Structure 1
Amino acid sequence: MSKLLNSATLKKLISLINFALNILWKGKYLMKKSTIVFFIFLLLSFTNLAQNTSAAPISLSQGIYNVRDINLPIGSPVTARINDPNGRVIIFVIDNNQYMRELTRLDSQSNEQTLKPFNYGYSVIIFGNTPVTFS
């Protein structure tokens, strides 16, 4: 459960559960136990659905890709890596105004690089002889 919830959300959830249990056992309000249990379950369900999970790695070969079409995360840094020790790849990141935002070279000496956050409309151009994994 701790992987799905960050610490702030977990603290809020625990305080809400404590509040509900205090109301139930002190008897200030006339609520059935099953109603409170149902609301706690409902709250936990919505909290788990709202959390972001880590995206699965995306492997791309040479080509031109739209960031939105390949489901790369928007607004957070992305790590690009090659697994082939003999591979060489150049990655261009182009924004929606056709300006080059980033240029990265991956080879045997630097096989992993963290890219700046993408925005909608960005394109990624991969030029090289080995697939690139984005995570």
Structure 2
Amino acid sequence: MSHIANMRIKKDGKIHKVGQPVSLTEEDLARLPQGAATAMTEEAAEAFAATAADLAIKLQAVLSETAEQAQDEKKFQALKAAVAGLPEEAFRVDGDARADTLKTLSADLGFDVTAEAVAIVRTSNE
């Protein structure tokens, strides 16, 4: 009977949608098949609420992590494009970015750019 929870219920000429409360009398409950409607004990309700709260926290963590990953990817792509447009004079003989280049990239992109990040991006651009 779990499929009933996903459908609309008609009672006393009124259609109740999913999530809309339906008040049932003792007579209504008696007409339902056995096990179709059960009352939740206080302990079960507390356990359900705790589980729902835990799931909400976990969901928020996953959403935050996903947002951070998307932000990191945007930063990587922006840095990759910026480094690709740099002239060879922006780099020292050993291939590392010059300090003034790092300062300029940091100012232009709006986040701290490290020499290691530039080296990784240069390797990925090749």
Is the structural similarity TM-score above 0.5? no
Higher percent of residues as helix: 2
Higher percent of residues as strand: 1
TM-score by length of 1: 0.28
TM-score by length of 2: 0.30
- Where relative contact order (Cα < 8 A, 6+ residues apart) is larger, the structure is 1
Q: Highest Rg: 1 or 2?
A: 2
